[in-house]
A and B are shown apart, each in its own frame.
Chain A
């Protein structure tokens, strides 16, 4: 099946998310859409899948124009989609999720789940998925959930499969498995639209690459192009993908975590007996797939998690059991993983957001009064220092782009003298330019002699920033390894394989001569 998009334009109010996009997906091809966050890739795919009505343009299937009023029409036309955030119902079984919307029924509308189970095992056999049709989706690992999504599309006889940022939630090993699945699907004659901003995977899997920037197609690229070329095409200017930094000069270890355990409301040990140190002037990166205890670890340090045991000391002062305010005034700078929820008050102005944690202390306050003039001049200074692109310091922070919002958070957290700096997912959703800026500031803080802890699920970022890497798996420390450790070893460790075993396995794979 050949799929064509002609002049697709999608406007949200005055914002043009897609601007006259043309795209042709040939049968049996893996077509990559490469573009930064916010470039309009997902919007385009939602138009294609019938979730949005295009403002202009048309979709052609095998040369015939079609109009999709909803996802049902798109599916009927043979288009399947695996969303970035899985569209699975956690409390349903795999079979129920697959059946939904496409139910096999007996008389009087009674469900025939046996029929669905049969189809699932048929597809599982064909592609080598191991999926139990009666497992509850919420109990399945993310990689398996993704397979359920693929099965959902295949059961509906999808000929074109759209994968929206499919590797964002996967470990490197799961990513490799997914790429294998994509190759099998391609061999079976399906077309794949693969959306990503990760150059490595795009280069590895695609037949054709279309680069999208600010809602427009800026050109086709060849899979053999170098990562730097691809990145430049994506961003629109020359970028350097490597960060220049001096070797770390670690001093004494001032931040110590011992036997830290966090129990969640279900009684799960989400952080399980962690112990590590961070020295002055070094970056410890916490690597791991999302949801392996990183959030709880940082929140435990900040003091917003209940049920924490163990010990956290900074300069020999116990932080555990103190209020958030006491922790902050002990000199902890904290960049939360979700800036919109925990980092900023969206409706407050930039200048107000700059003093969210300092509003009650001199020089910004005196008694019960605040000093607006001083707050404004402080904001002006920081906006300039951190290169926040804004018309004024009085605009609501929520209206800024992600990169500029993150710069505001950084500016606030780095404006105090720090004894520990924690940044969680510091560059999530940022454009390449902002990523460069954030990374430079983090390294600058390290070179000031502050112990720095970076939590990131992006292996690239971890390798970029870290002086040492601690890998978390299911709340436990798999090991702490030096910065130069290879991607494959880290990938295996992120799946819970201990360090020495990971090294052995990774060597074997390399000798087998597969991929780097």
Chain B
């Protein structure tokens, strides 16, 4: 028997790795998931936007300013600022690409491309505002066919890359999604009633942000809990009890702010049960969460139908948190009304996203929290009390979800009704996963789900070629797609869902 050694590059079918001499062989296991998925969607897009398009055109209304003069000034200022910002970011991007090694993209900070795209979008919107465009009208057939051709092209490119065993670059997916969305919007609006159907784009987006508020709070609660190693399925229950408590307390005390505080307390009460039972008594976290949801749904329904319906004036008339305009910012056309015309809860949402993000990734507290969620034993050996950290984080998560719940009764509708959270706690969980356990990601994912939700109701109003039942499915279908397919490889905190027992 002779000594046998491996021959570099012996042609096994599994590998295409060009460099097998230096480093251990790596062959990208190129998945056909993206290629097949995009192809199917492209074909669907071609059929819908192309073949099924009509001769009508779709109108998209841009917001009309409340205060003409202020709006004009704000628009110009924004235009200039956005121009400078886009130019600067674009320059940074260009320089980093040039200066980096041949691989290039490795040197690029992750935030740069999305920030640049965002700056350019703001620039475009500001330009629309300055030009005083109040409505964009697009011919449905032409746009539909153009979109279809681009979609087919991108899908074909992906298939070609997969065939050649190359990874698909990230911009392909992003562009595909954007083009599909435009094609879909034009097609569906053009299919509405009337000769020239139109919707208000600004209204659509503003509504999306509003609908996303409880989702954002819910998913932030999930981020806080899962990052520390506890799966919080009880978000739904926290939202619901938050809504209920806000309504009752605000009515009884005649003070909406007291209602807001009560919502936070109610949310952390639900969390308290979750924390004690799952952290101290080691009961399966998912089971506790589900049980809590059912319990709170039953409890609030019972109290609603016995007490609240008997005395709606005294117990279920909380009043509303009024929207607050932020001076100057709210005058920016399009963007202003969307982002800076919110209730207190809406502004709290922005604050919460930023605080949770900075806290988790840039503070001592966050480092410890993440350590506990990844490797509790390691955290224990450097003197961190794992279960105490978990306990307080879960409580904090509950408070945040509770505030999200107050949105239902203090902002959206001014009374509590049975099961009014309507499964948004579960959608928030999906947003958390779609957002890869990152507060910013969860925020964006929640916005997307809010958009789908709002689009469905807007489309149902103007009438559409698609039965409304299908449109009602849209947010949930999107959730399934997002969580199953588009997330890519994301890694949950390693110890999420596993109770920590010392020793």
Asked if A pairs with B, the answer is yes
Map CB proximity to A onto B381-401 as digits: 1 under 8 Å, 0 otherwise: 111110000000000000000
CA distance A474 to B7 in the complex (A): 14
Interface centre among A71, A100, A481, by most chain B C-beta atoms within 10 angstroms, is A100
Q: With A92-B371, A101-B368 as given contacts, are A110 and B25 in contact (CB-CB < 8 Å)? A: no
CB of B174 within 8 Å of the partner chain? no
* Interface positions of A from 43 to 102, Cβ below 8 Å from B: 46, 49, 51-52, 70-73, 75, 81, 83, 87-92, 96, 99-102
CB of B170 within 8 Å of the partner chain? no
**Residue from A88, A92, A102, A480 in contact with B4 in the complex, judged by beta carbons closer than 8 Å:** A480
| Chain B, Cβ-Cβ closest to A293 | B24
17 A–B contacts from the bound complex (CB under 8 Å): A71-B382, A90-B375, A101-B368, A101-B382, A103-B364, A253-B1, A263-B15, A272-B20, A272-B25, A273-B6, A274-B6, A275-B4, A307-B14, A476-B6, A477-B5, A480-B1, A480-B3
- Closest Cβ of chain B to A479, distance in Å, is 6
A269 touches B15 (CB 8 A): yes
- Closest Cβ of chain A to B9, distance in Å, is 9
CB of B503 within 8 Å of the partner chain? yes
CA distance A377 to B494 in the complex (A): 46
By a CB distance below 8 angstroms, the chain B residues around A170 are none
**Interface size (B, Cβ < 8 Å)?**
43
B503 touches A71 (CB 8 A): no
CA distance A266 to B12 in the complex (A): 17
CB of A268 within 8 Å of the partner chain? yes
By a CB distance below 8 angstroms, the chain B residues around A476 are 6, 24
* Interface positions of B from 127 to 154, Cβ below 8 Å from A: none
A100 touches B379 (CB 8 A): yes
Q: Which 10 residue pairs across A and B have the least CB separation, nearest first? A: A72-B383, A101-B382, A269-B25, A87-B378, A273-B6, A103-B364, A474-B24, A267-B29, A109-B363, A87-B381
CA distance A102 to B371 in the complex (A): 13
CB of B17 within 8 Å of the partner chain? yes
B28 touches A87 (CB 8 A): no
- Closest Cβ of chain A to B494, distance in Å, is 8
* Interface positions of A from 106 to 133, Cβ below 8 Å from B: 108-111
CB of A203 within 8 Å of the partner chain? no
**Residue from B3, B12, B364, B385 in contact with A109 in the complex, judged by beta carbons closer than 8 Å:** B364
CB of A9 within 8 Å of the partner chain? no
**A residues lining the B interface (CB < 8 Å):** 46, 49, 51-52, 70-73, 75, 81, 83, 87-92, 96, 99-103, 105, 108-111, 152, 250, 253, 259, 261, 263, 265-269, 272-277, 279, 307, 309-310, 468, 474-481, 499
- Closest Cβ of chain B to A295, distance in Å, is 15
| Chain A, Cβ-Cβ closest to B382 | A101
Secondary structure at chain B's binding surface: helix, strand, loop or mixed? loop
B382 touches A87 (CB 8 A): yes
CA distance A307 to B5 in the complex (A): 22
Q: With A253-B1, A267-B26, A309-B13 as given contacts, are A275 and B6 in contact (CB-CB < 8 Å)? A: yes
B4 touches A100 (CB 8 A): no
CA distance A92 to B227 in the complex (A): 13
B28 touches A110 (CB 8 A): no
A89 touches B378 (CB 8 A): yes
B24 touches A83 (CB 8 A): no
Map CB proximity to A onto B191-232 as digits: 1 under 8 Å, 0 otherwise: 000000000000000000000000000000000000000000
B10 touches A259 (CB 8 A): yes
* Interface positions of B from 355 to 373, Cβ below 8 Å from A: 358, 362-365, 367-368, 370-371
CA distance A52 to B375 in the complex (A): 19
- Closest Cβ of chain A to B444, distance in Å, is 22
CA distance A101 to B375 in the complex (A): 13
CB of B380 within 8 Å of the partner chain? yes
B374 touches A89 (CB 8 A): yes
By a CB distance below 8 angstroms, the chain B residues around A478 are 5
| Chain B, Cβ-Cβ closest to A275 | B4
By a CB distance below 8 angstroms, the chain A residues around B1 are 250, 253, 277, 279, 468, 480
Q: With A90-B374, A90-B375, A111-B364 as given contacts, are A51 and B24 in contact (CB-CB < 8 Å)? A: no
| Chain A, Cβ-Cβ closest to B359 | A109
- Closest Cβ of chain B to A370, distance in Å, is 34
By a CB distance below 8 angstroms, the chain A residues around B503 are 46, 51-52
CA distance A478 to B4 in the complex (A): 9
B362 touches A111 (CB 8 A): yes
- Closest Cβ of chain A to B22, distance in Å, is 11
A261 touches B4 (CB 8 A): no
* Interface positions of B from 468 to 503, Cβ below 8 Å from A: 491, 494, 502-503
CB of B175 within 8 Å of the partner chain? no
B371 touches A89 (CB 8 A): yes
- Closest Cβ of chain B to A515, distance in Å, is 28
By a CB distance below 8 angstroms, the chain A residues around B385 are 70
CB of B245 within 8 Å of the partner chain? no
A307 touches B29 (CB 8 A): yes
| Chain A, Cβ-Cβ closest to B493 | A91
CA distance A479 to B28 in the complex (A): 27
| Chain A, Cβ-Cβ closest to B363 | A109
CA distance A481 to B3 in the complex (A): 7
CB of B342 within 8 Å of the partner chain? no
CA distance A111 to B1 in the complex (A): 60
| Chain B, Cβ-Cβ closest to A49 | B381
Q: With A269-B17, A307-B29 as given contacts, are A96 and B367 in contact (CB-CB < 8 Å)? A: yes
